[in-house]
Amino acid sequence: MLTTLIRFGGVGGLATLVHVLVALTAEHSLSLSAQQANLAGFLVSVLLSYFGHAHVTFRSGQGSALRFLRFVVVALTGYAVSSLTVALITGPLGQPFAVAMVAVAIVVPATSFVAMWFWVFRGREEGPVRAGPDLALCVVLALAVVVLFWNRLVNHDVGWYLIAARAWQGGAGLYTDLMEVNPPLNFYLTLPALWIADALGVSDTNGQYVVVAALFFVSLSWSAAVLRRDRSLPAGRRALLLVASGLAMLIPSLSGLGQRDQLLVLFLLPWAMHEALPHAATRRGTIASALFAAAGVCLKPHFVVLPLAVTVLNCLERRSLRPVLSPANLVFLVCGLAYIAFVRIVHPAYFADLIGMALRVYGAYGAPLPEVLSRIAPLMGPATLTFAISLRSRPSRPVRVFAALAVGGLGSYFLQGTGFGYHQVPFLTFAAITCCMILFQPWRARAETALSAVMLLALLANGIQRGFYHNVAVAEIAAALAEQGPFDGVLTLSSHVTVGPPVALALDTSWASRYSSQWLVPGAINALDKADCRAEPDLCDNLRSIAARNRGDIIRDMTRARPALLIVDRNSGYFDKPGFDWLAFMAEDPAWPAVFADYRQLAVTGHFLLFLRQP
């Protein structure tokens, strides 16, 4: 191990030195941006790194095409890590590019060694002939994602992250100039989409689709590598299972590709395969897949329920609490604690400011439990029946693991408590894969086979019925503005994300607000309506200050950005009392009349008032 580390340090040090020297030279001599210079250094050093590590560090020879593909995945991950480091240090931290490159020289080798030791250059590799068909299939499925979604309207939440990450990249402060209720990991995961969009000259939306397709490929090809170690699974069935898993990860997310709930299943699948096929897993592979899965689990605190469900299953099966401290769980714990520490240090405003307000007002976006249950019951009931019947015939380990993940996905859905359709994705995806695993068991009863097949078709049909993302608000507003435009900036007074960023993207204009929607207002207004302000004056003052803060931020954003188009929602949801009047709410601030005086009413639709700023 020590000798390998020394050799790795020599080869990696040389490759990193080449990377840094080329990047600094490119930035100085060619006047490239920091990211472009970093890309130049990466491309020059990557081939040197591969042959050096193959022949010197791990002494495994050049290896097969599969090994090289693995190395490419690790190299691209290293590039993402280096680019993220450059973006963080030269952006929010405000340090020189040279300082960023020193950090790259420390961070990238450490992450690369772990990946190469555990995955790329492990002792025995699969032969290229056996791996080739699986890789080709994964490539086709990933390309299908790009083809299906290219130039399509992106989901509203994903659109907001693209807009906000672009503003963050341009110098806006996360959780100071950009007000978001969720922790920052998804902003970091959005940056590669922007880099790809800039490098390829495509829209940010298409850049996001490329990133999701790449993650789709990594998840499926990694899972295929685990399945190949299961000698009891014929190549034909393995291919069918890969296709079914790909469809299960894609179809429930047709209307929300790139949403965090879908990213979770993409990150989680290789680890789930290791758990489902313990005889085909290695300790290195399990730890590496757990590191990959941890990125998905950290996207939302609710997602911890999924690995917890597998842990409960393991404890019950082994009649012991030892699985609680399994290597994978320790990886999840360390990554989670490191992530919390990172957010506290790099984004202190999130814990100091945003969390407190969110706890007071974000509950307005929840839904009553009967409503949340009613939205998933048509599929939850049949899935529960299918799993229960399967339990009678002593299902295989893969069935048990993916059923546990489906239960965990169900728990995550109920914990989030909104009833949003994309929150169902982990349950729908893992329930579909469970049905596939039931069908692939060596022995199964006819009733079990029929139920599993019907349930699988129902799960996939549900996603197909939802179809691709369609935004009614965008269609309504675009129709009203058909003879107008282009517009230099837009801002909406609405409690719905669907009315904001998607409109900006559809109109190909800038988004003027620091909020995805004016999400502080509904909870504050609802709580004020319920509060006894004479008995709890401090509570009411706090709620009024939260509403006033959102109102003041709107005025500051309009003064700063001077958006050409102002959209006012006449039917904002999430308010206990319908018909909330945004213009009356804004008029409570004395600065509003002067700002609003620049706008004249352009159109009225069924749901919106449209105002145009005067030249």
Range name among 65-69, 174-178, 198-202 with the lowest pLDDT average: 65-69
Res. 130 pLDDT band, cuts 50 70 90: low
Does 603 have pLDDT greater than 60? yes
Give CA–CA dist 189/222, Å, rounded: 20
Query: What is the rounded average pLDDT of the residues 372-395?
Result: 84
pLDDT tens for 297-348 read: 999 999 999 999 999 999 999 999 999 999 999 999 999 999 999 999 999 9
**436 Cβ neighbours under 8 A, 6+ residues apart:** 240, 241, 244, 245, 248, 456
Query: What is the rounded average pLDDT of the residues 368-384?
Result: 90
**Distances from the Cα of 174 to the Cα of 40, 178, 184, angstroms:** 28, 5, 8
**Distances from the Cα of 433 to the Cα of 452, 483, 521, angstroms:** 10, 48, 41
pLDDT tens for 52-109 read: 777 777 766 545 555 666 777 777 777 777 777 777 777 767 777 777 777 777 777 7
Res. 128 pLDDT band, cuts 50 70 90: very low
User: Beta-strand (E) ranges in 398-529?
Assistant: 490-493
Give CA–CA dist 275/313, Å, rounded: 11
What pLDDT does residue 92 have?
A: 66
What pLDDT does residue 261 have?
A: 95
Range name among 242-246, 283-287, 392-396 with the lowest pLDDT average: 392-396
What pLDDT does residue 445 have?
A: 56
Start-to-end CA span in the chain (Å): 69
Res. 123 pLDDT band, cuts 50 70 90: low
Counting beta carbons within 10 angstroms of the beta carbon of residue 370, is it exposed (0 to 12), middle (13 to 18) or buried (19 or more)?
A: exposed
Does 126 have pLDDT greater than 60? no
Does 140 have pLDDT greater than 70? yes
Residue 494 near residue 517 (C-beta atoms within 8 A): yes
Closest CA to 408 of 258, 293, 322: 293
What pLDDT does residue 32 have?
A: 60
**To the nearest whole number, what is the mean pLDDT of the chain?**
86
Does 272 have pLDDT greater than 80? yes
Torsion, Cα 303 306 312 315, to 10 degrees, reads: -110
Phi (first) and psi of residue 151, to 5 degrees? 70, 10
Does 199 have pLDDT greater than 80? yes
Res. 491 pLDDT band, cuts 50 70 90: very high
Query: What is the rounded average pLDDT of the residues 430-436?
Result: 91
**How is the chain split into domains, by residue range?**
1-122, 472-613
What pLDDT does residue 94 have?
A: 72
